Structure 1
Amino acid sequence: MSAAGSAGPAGSVAVVIPNDIPFPSWDLYEASIPLTVFGKPQPDLADPWYDLRLCGTDEGAGPAGASGLAVRTPYGLEDLAGADTVIVPSVPDACVEDGVPLPPKLIAALRDARDAGARMVSLCTGAFALAEAGVLDGRRATAHWMHTAQLAARYPKVRVDDSVLYVDDGDVLTSAGLTAGLDLCLHLVRRDLGAHVANQLARRMVVPAHRKGGQAQFIDLSVPATDDEGLGPVLEWARARLDEPLSVDDLARRASMSPRTFYRRLQAATGTTPLQWLLNQRLARAQALLESTGLPVEKVGELSGLGTANNLRHHFLKQVGVSPTDYRRSFPAHPAHPARPARNGGEG
């Protein structure tokens, strides 16, 4: 965390609220995501939880828009510099589409926060504010794919990647729009408090526990976008048995389909093949075990279905970019949690 010195493992999170202009000229959805993730205490998961601070660009309630909505915040932009993490949700539409300058006081406050050591985060078009403040210079970053071309043209020093859900560049993180902002916020919880806490929080929010930042914005590699094809139950069944040998024939039989039909439907729903889907799930299981338990690497390979420690290491280096041991060192120690999920219903 930053030099702000907040108590507890999670620290303080400051969210920029552009309340000096009428809503709906800015996106309330992206602003609500960090409020939902960081604002509600979860004492059974981590105590103390995050200290959330809403920092308005207007010190008062701001003007009411056509909807009659006005937002009052207890903190101002000067409070960004005292936070461990600063999050900038979407900026006003006119600043992106029409090139209207962002408020100089906001840009100055973001620079002060960066200089004070805050972790800097943007959701969707919030990347324009970080770029204007020079926070993204020389860094890889993303935003919603509809706006990445404008971001790249306006800020040529930023290495814009329009294909990913989010980018974790250490102390600077950026996300695509809408639900990708939720993915990034859960990723922050995962980094700060570990996989178990992030997974439990995601479960309470009824969202997927973890989508990798490098995943394409257009497809979800983990779950089908719809359950119309009847794939949901068989994929959940497979996730509960990742430590067992599973083949395409096994999954197809469970889904009451021919292997060829199952292959085609899974690829249409997730954008990947059945074998690659299984590998993705096993890697995700291995990551969770490395983050939340002290199990030996050999046992992690066994429980995730990746086999030997050498095989686990091979896939980690290829897909994650680091060895399992180095990956584990990136996370604080946490108590061990059950290695296998409960199997609800169905025969073995």
Structure 2
Amino acid sequence: MGTANIITYGVTVFLWLYIIDAKKKHPLAYKICCAYGFFILAFAAGATTDLYTVFGTYIVPSHSVFMATMCAILIKRAFEDIHNPRYWAFLVVLAVPTGAAIMIQLALSGVIDATRLRLELHSYTLMFHLVGMGIIMTMRLSRMDKERVTVVRKAEETTSLVEEQRKLISMLSHEFRTPLAVIQRSSEMLMLRLTNHKDDVLERLRRIQLQAQKLARLVDIFLTKDGIDTQELSLARKTVPINRFLQEFVAQTTREGAEVQAALSRTTGIEVFIDETLMGLAITNLAETSRRFAHGAPIHISTHRHSEMRVEISIPCRGDELDEDEIAMISDALFRRDMESQSLQRALGLHISQRIVVAHGGSITLRQKGARSIELCLLLPCE
């Protein structure tokens, strides 16, 4: 019997700490009270010895003070948040029976007189406590059941919406392929018919054909059901010299008012094993991020050997609009942190770049280069 009483007293401490959410709102007091609870439970080892007398003489009154303090905190919170039914329910169901329990504890420990009213009041308030807790639990279970039904309904709606989106993407994929095929075939026929024309005409046709092929491949990767369902990218990798790859990238992406320049340092002879189409897309997304703040100025891409096994491609971003919020958004997109939907839409290209580079065994880092200036650094393994 003594052991059961001691355990009840100790468990009550932890129950009250949970009810008032002491761990979150009063962390220091929470630790002290936890130590107090474990101290009470330690008396269970001596329930049949003289320690139980010490328990009844000192611990029982202190436990009454503890419960009175908890009730006072509960009353304070109920009046501070008067529209919160949770506190009022706890106040009625817990505080009232606790008052009677405190009186019987003090009476049994000899602190106050043990009158008949004080000894019998607890049995009535205990019944009130059990009935009240039963009502609260019933209401809580009913609310949980309603929440479960709501979650199931939303899950079904989400599943249906995802399926509709997949159908739409599959349809868009087909609609993209048809005009792309026409462009490719037309460019091939024109090249056959214009073999005797100037080289610049043929070069333009080759660029049209090449870009159409790249776009068709991107459609196959990102706008198909398999591309949506899997997190892994389908790579068509081959070994290419890094200098040639970047020179071709600059030639293909430079346009009027959007110049791209590449500086190659100590990269002669370095080769990388990459999917040229996807890696070009990744670098393009980084360059477009830089272009947002460049206001028409050329985008400079610097490339150098980072180490014996890696090559670094860095793109600086600087501008008056590149404040802390913009830098944080870029960082969140690169490192896949949770983002607001509006920010995620703006940074989707960076997220795709990160996926592409990681699939190649590389990484993208962000370096702070002073006020309103950062550097996007792409590291790729060398062959």
TM-score normalised per structure 1: 0.24
User: Greater relative contact order: 1 or 2 (C-alpha under 8 angstroms, separation 6 or more)?
Assistant: 1
TM-score normalised per structure 2: 0.22
Q: Which has the higher helix share?
A: 2
